[in-house]
Amino acid sequence: MKKNLMVAVRFTVVTTILFGLGYPLLVTGLSQWMFPKQANGSLIEKNGQVVGSRLLGQGFSGDKYFHPRPSNAGNGYDPTASGGSNLGPTNQALVTRVQQEVAKLQQENPGVAIPADLVTSSGSGLDPEISPAAADFQMPRVAKARGMTVGELRRVVGKHTQARQLGIFGEARVNVLELNLDLDENAPVKQ
């Protein structure tokens, strides 16, 4: 029994060193070497300051900005409180919240169909992207606030629209942070 116990202890020590220390260090080192930007959070810098991440949504308000999906993460886009609401389609709290969002958006763009991603949150509550339809819906408001034509704005949105991955995975999408940063830099609000 003593012999089996010593084998078990040695096996535990060896596997802990290999898989608890060696493997994570190897994977971290390889990721830093091969994909440093992604391994460090795909951070976006402006004037030497980190303004966000391509991977995490953040709230934008005001007419001059495209707005992201609603967030259920803490006080909105809090990465430490990531998670969906887990409310089902028949849950009255979800139905009420969606109805309130729909009413608010109908005032912004009367008579236009509202894309689902503008009134529902993602599974994580931190989705950084909206659908092209959600961007189209918001274009009249943003164009008016920035003194642009919808056509000019459509070209900027087109630059930030990503197609399906490998042509088959996911859906077309627009990164809200990158789009809004581009607008602030290249299409500032005209007074």
Q: Is the dihedral of CA 62, 67, 72, 78 positive or negative?
A: negative
Mean pLDDT of the chain: 86
pLDDT category, 23, cuts 50, 70, 90?
very high
pLDDT digit string (tens) for 122-164? 777 778 899 999 999 999 999 999 999 999 999 999 999 999 9
Q: Which two tokens stand for residue 4?
A: 């089996």
pLDDT digit string (tens) for 58-116? 888 888 999 988 887 766 677 777 766 677 788 888 888 888 888 888 888 888 899 98
Q: Is the dihedral of CA 45, 51, 55, 61 positive or negative?
A: negative
Spatial contact of 114 and 137, defined as CB atoms under 8 Å apart: yes
> Which residue type sits at 63?
D
pLDDT digit string (tens) for 31-59? 889 988 888 878 888 888 888 888 888 88
Helix axes 132-146, 150-159, angle to 10 degrees: 130
| Of 34 and 188, more confident | 34
Spatial contact of 66 and 128, defined as CB atoms under 8 Å apart: no
Q: How far is CA 124 from CA 24, 31, 89, 169, in A?
A: 25, 24, 17, 19
Helix axes 176-186, 132-146, angle to 10 degrees: 20
